Amino acid sequence: MKRVFDISISFLLLIFLIPLWLILFLVLKIFSPGPFIFTQLRMGKNSKPFKIYKIRTMIRDAEEKKKSLLKFNEVQAPVFKIKNDPRFIKFGKVLSSTGLDESIQVLNVLKGEMSLVGPRPLPISEAKKLPIKYKKRFSSLPGITSEWVIEGAHHMSLKQWMNLDLEYVKKGNIFFDCYILFATLEIISKKLINYGKEINKKPSPPKD
């Protein structure tokens, strides 16, 4: 049932996403010449590596520059995340913070490598360093979104994050997937509206 649900929703999403991807392709080509899609090996179900797709939001040599930024990591090692990452290209931060860069992962879903909802897939190097007690999270297909995403991501400790994933693997169902998907769409909508307000905000008149 979960697989049928994933495929059905993914095909519906493609109707809206393909025009969006075409627009983003043109925008990125103008402001940051280079590949539109970024690929990276991630740990999938049963610890099987797979190539994840993302719309590129960073400079070409972002992976090489990661080492110099490890000291600024905002989450517990071995996972690496920085909210205001200096490697973002123009508009890259907007795409990343709204999750639009992850939208192209519906292709991973259609290939059977991911699910719409599930534990977020980690890069191989990070996944291998997780404590053994969290390995159970790899018994499920990784997801485009998860409870971790809607609960605050950057504000959550590694232990809290992993425990949410383990709980999902144990008790997740279609109804909970629907809840997470709707909550994710709500978060994306609010962020896009806020960015729109910032763009349209008129500059304050100079003080005397």
pLDDT per position as a tens digit, 182-203: 999 999 998 888 877 877 775 5
In angstroms, what CA-CA distances link 19 with 14, 25, 71? 9, 10, 39
Residue 206 predicted with pLDDT over 70: no
Helical residues (DSSP H) of the chain, grouped into ranges? 2-31, 62-65, 92-98, 106-110, 124-127, 147-151, 158-171, 174-200
pTM tops 0.85: yes
How confident is residue 205, by pLDDT bands cut at 50, 70 and 90?
Answer: low
Q: Please, are residues 110 and 13 in contact by the beta-carbon 8 Å criterion?
A: no
The residue-averaged pLDDT of 80-87 equals 80
What tens digit of pLDDT does each residue of 51-70 get?
999 999 888 777 777 878 88
Task: Indicate the domain borders of the chain.
Answer: 2-193
Q: How far apart are CA 114 and CA 6, in angstroms?
A: 9
**Structure confidence by residue, pLDDT tens digits, 93-152:** 888 888 899 999 999 999 999 999 999 999 999 999 999 999 999 999 999 999 999 987
145: β partners:
117
4-16: average pLDDT: 95
> How many CA atoms within 13 Å lie on the side-chain side of 195?
14
Other beta carbons within 10 angstroms of residue 24's beta carbon come to 20
DSSP 130-153: S-GGGGGGGGS--EEE-HHHHHTG
